[in-house]
Chains A and B, each alone.
Chain A
Amino acid sequence: MTELPTNTAKKMGLVIDLDTCVGCHACVISCKGWNTENYGAPLSDQDAYGADPSGTFLNRVHSFEVQPAATPSQPDPAAQLIHFPKSCLHCEDAPCVTVCPTGASYKRIEDGIVLVNEDNCIGCGLCAWSCPYGARELDLAEGVMKKCTLCVDRIYNDNLPEVDRVPSCVRSCPAGARHFGDLGDPNSEVSKLVADRGGMDLMPEMGTKPVNKYLPPRPKDQLEEQIDVLAPLLAPVTETPGGFLGWLDKALDRLPGQTSDQSSGGQA
């Protein structure tokens, strides 16, 4: 049924660290691989080797550029590139579930995972319309809605070694930027991480109450304040050239004509 549970015992979800993500897209590929071979219909591609390829993905990595504002201590701050993985946030108040006319979309009471029963999906697309995050994509080959299952077929799978019982994206992340756990338990590792790092909701004004949290990028280090142990060794050997070069430098300075800044002594 498409009525949302008033409360779920657990709130399984992801914590994504925007400070750590290197934008390698390994999670995108491993997600596509696992979910093509397992739960539900495969994630199809259209015109995969042609001029206009596209396909169904449950996890996509965007990249944003953040230009910090100038401050007295940093008048000319460098722009930061933030890689931004985005998949279903398994919202507590999931609008995609309540709009579904057939009951194909549902939120599990036991762990809060939002799933689609593909046998009941008519492919009307209304759930994708209602999702602010673009987490749902209609598979063009199958005509049904696809979305992140939080790898429900891995996390409880006794046939897998214990280390693999996490979502595929988490298992494959080489940077450790994706964390999986129960966000309903304040003492879980992921909940502590969110508390320590100021984890945030995406589009909180939409009222969806996402379970997945994003950890904001930390401010960049200030290199000027550090003691550079190599500095003495890297300093120029001569401030003003002597000998033949010194004579040449002076002789050239005396010649009429323009002298550029760097010409005398090598130091501005």
Chain B
Amino acid sequence: MHPAPSVILFTTLSGLGFGLLTFLGLGYPGVTGWVAFVFYAIAYALAVGGLLASTFHLGRPERALKAFSQWKTSWLSREGLCAVAALMVMGLFALGAIFLQQDWRLLGILGAALSLATVFTTSMIYTQLKTIPRWNMALTPVMFLSVSLAGGALLAGKESWAIWLLLLAGAVQLAYWGKGDGAFAASGTTMKTATGLGGNLGAKQSGATVRAFEPPHTGSNYLLREFVYVVGRKHAFKLRAIALTLGFALPILFLALPMENLLIKHLMAGFAVLSHMIGVAVSRWLFFAQAEHVVGLYYGKR
């Protein structure tokens, strides 16, 4: 799949932002006043910034509001509704915390649940697609949720939780790559099922081999650009190592180092967040770039 920068930015930033909102809604940290303002400003900048970035890849962004209408069947529509609901509920909760020094517990818990639901619905947009076996796995939502929670704990300053959640997210990430590498073969979709030629159908043709002889056009097209992206595959292993190191290993190290000085401690936490964001962005780039769409079979590209 073509790794559109807008979608990578969106899943990375929104995941982090909604992760932070989840922790804030649960009352970790239970901040009020100016400190709360800073926390909510960061969370909203990330979540809303990500959502805005996601509209850049639309062909007709001016009609984006229509995307809220089909929640009965469409995960993309559900995601939009969840995101708006989460931002509104958490906005109210934030107003209470910042200006009224109030902790409206029920509202916070509802906001936290909606924030997590937003991340889950985002992941389901990808998970639902049978056409991309690497995404069509139960591990996909687990990966999105664990990364979002780890990033949220990191930003919320819950260091002891962050270490364990980062470890968990790193493990899920490894499992996702491991299982994903065999997903296309396990799906059972081949050039023979795609074309019905030479094999599965009819004893007369059994044992025959099929290969793509000529594509429909000598030039490229939307399908090849969008679904048969192969650039950078050869660096996949290195990029996985970079994603794992920057996204999970380094932040854990930054958090685990014993620091006496409060300033250095904050600086280290800042490094941890930056490193985590870059690592997750690299992982999301791989999430798209390595995803093989079955339509590539018709072009002999799988």
Contacts and interface: CB of A to CB of B under 8 A. Distances in A.
Contacts of B210: 64-67
Contact of A126 (B125, B195, B197): B125
Interface string B199-229: 0011011111111111111011111001100
Contact of B60 (A2, A66, A67, A123): A123
Nearest to A69: B207
Interface of B: 1, 57-61, 63-64, 66-70, 72-77, 80, 125, 128-132, 187-189, 191, 193-198, 201-202, 204-217, 219-223, 226-227, 293-295, 298-299
28 contacts: A3-B72, A54-B217, A54-B219, A54-B222, A60-B217, A62-B299, A67-B210, A84-B195, A95-B129, A95-B130, A95-B131, A98-B74, A101-B66, A101-B69, A103-B69, A121-B59, A121-B60, A122-B64, A122-B66, A124-B76, A134-B227, A134-B295, A134-B298, A145-B59, A203-B294, A206-B130, A216-B202, A219-B205
A5 interface: no
Contacts of A139: 59
A124 B58 contact: yes
B216 A64 contact: no
B60 A200 contact: no
Given A66-B197, A206-B130, 18 more contacts: A1-B70, A2-B74, A66-B209, A67-B198, A99-B75, A101-B80, A102-B63, A122-B58, A122-B59, A122-B67, A124-B76, A129-B1, A138-B222, A140-B222, A142-B59, A198-B201, A203-B194, A204-B193
A137 B295 CA distance: 12
A17 to B, nearest CB: 13
A144 B60 contact: yes
Contact of A57 (B205, B209, B216): B216
A138 B59 contact: yes
Interface of A: 1-3, 18, 28, 52-57, 60-69, 81-82, 84, 86, 95, 97-104, 120-126, 128-134, 137-140, 142-145, 198, 200-207, 214, 216-217, 219
A97 B196 CA distance: 24
Contact of B131 (A123, A131, A202): A131
Query: Dominant SS at the A interface?
Result: loop
Nearest to A48: B219
B57 A62 contact: no
Contact of B196 (A102, A104, A216): A216
A99 B129 CA distance: 9
Among A52, A64, A130, A204: residue with most chain B CB under 10 A:
A64
A65 B131 contact: no
B131 A130 contact: yes
Given A122-B66, A124-B67, A129-B129, A64 B211 contact: yes
